[in-house]
Amino acid sequence: MHVFRSAAFVAAAMLFASPASAAIMVVTYSGLASGTDGLNMFGGGELSAVPFSFSFTYDTTRGVRETGPTGDTLGTPIGGDPPVVRVDYELNGIAGSQTAFTLATVSTNLVANVFSVNPHQASFDSIGRVTTHNEFTMGVTLPAAPATLETPFSLDGSLGGSLASWVRTDYASPDSADEFTNVVTFFQLGVTHIEVLALDGAPVPEPGVWTVMVLGFGAASAVLRRRRAAVARVA
């Protein structure tokens, strides 16, 4: 009986193990995109209802964090590192990635029930004029937003309240700093799937839970040893 109680204790510890505050998380949005590919990144021209998948890797140890009853947000400090460290994207069957960002925000809003990622990248010429601006706006309305940015979740279905888009603008400037031409790739993104996972794909038990599990296994082992000794004496 003691063995069963010890085993149940261990099982309960494993069952209720809470995910650790993982430093590296990945949020993936997928669905259908429509827009104009002026930069010829994905075949060019007007594209309608083509499949897309964007995966944003963010580091919860970077940036400035604000937590409270209304949500959990990571932002970019002045002169600091943005929390989004990589974007892997595929649209219309053409894949790419980006690893350098100027600013980024990752947020879960418990009032509006929105999970959002908003990284920006800007390039400048030698006199400070913008030459390229790249912005992802990924805001998805959920039935219930996760409590923290480390909370894994997955949701399928047409997310009609979503505000999701990607715009990249390349600016070409003649000699005059006041005259610019630009070429734009812009897509509205209809998100039908969102998933947040730790980078290894699985939640990690907290250190305290590991301790309880180890103690539980030790207790079960000790009970088994005592039972074997008692049986040996009787025999």
Whether residues 27 and 84 fall in one domain: yes
Whether residues 122 and 213 fall in one domain: no
- The pLDDT value given to residue 4: 42
Q: Model confidence over 61-118: pLDDT tens digits?
A: 999 999 999 999 999 988 889 999 999 999 999 999 999 899 999 999 999 999 999 9
Name which residue leads in pLDDT, 201 or 143: 143
Residues 94 and 31: beta-carbon distance below 8 Å: no
Residues 143 and 153: beta-carbon distance below 8 Å: no
Range of the domain at 227: 1-18+206-235
Whether residues 168 and 111 fall in one domain: yes
- The pLDDT value given to residue 58: 96
Q: How far, in Å, CA of 22 to CA of 60, rounded?
A: 8
Whether residues 117 and 224 fall in one domain: no
Whether residues 150 and 226 fall in one domain: no
Whether residues 122 and 171 fall in one domain: yes
Mean pLDDT, rounded, for 161-176: 72
Whether the pLDDT of residue 1 is over 80: the answer is no
Q: How far, in Å, CA of 19 to CA of 21, rounded?
A: 7
Whether the pLDDT of residue 234 is over 60: the answer is no
Whether residues 129 and 169 fall in one domain: yes
* Lowest-confidence pick of 6-20, 67-81, 106-120, 154-168: 6-20
Q: Sign of the C-alpha dihedral, residues 135, 156, 198, 205?
A: positive
* Lowest-confidence pick of 44-48, 152-156, 160-164, 184-188: 160-164
* Lowest-confidence pick of 65-74, 173-182, 213-222: 213-222
- The pLDDT value given to residue 201: 46
Number of compact structural domains in the chain:
2
Whether residues 215 and 231 fall in one domain: yes
Whether residues 153 and 94 fall in one domain: yes
Q: How far, in Å, CA of 197 to CA of 223, rounded?
A: 38
Whether residues 89 and 14 fall in one domain: no
Q: Sign of the C-alpha dihedral, residues 57, 84, 209, 16?
A: negative
The percent of residues above 70 in pLDDT, for the chain, comes to 69
Whether residues 146 and 187 fall in one domain: yes
Whether residues 67 and 172 fall in one domain: yes
Mean pLDDT, rounded, for 53-59: 95
In which band, very low, low, confident or very high, does the pLDDT at 7 lie, cut at 50, 70 and 90?
Answer: very low
Beta strand segments in the chain, E = 24-37, 45-59, 64-68, 71-75, 84-91, 94-98, 106-109, 114-117, 120-124, 130-141, 153-156, 163-172, 181-198
Q: What is the pTM of this model?
A: 0.72
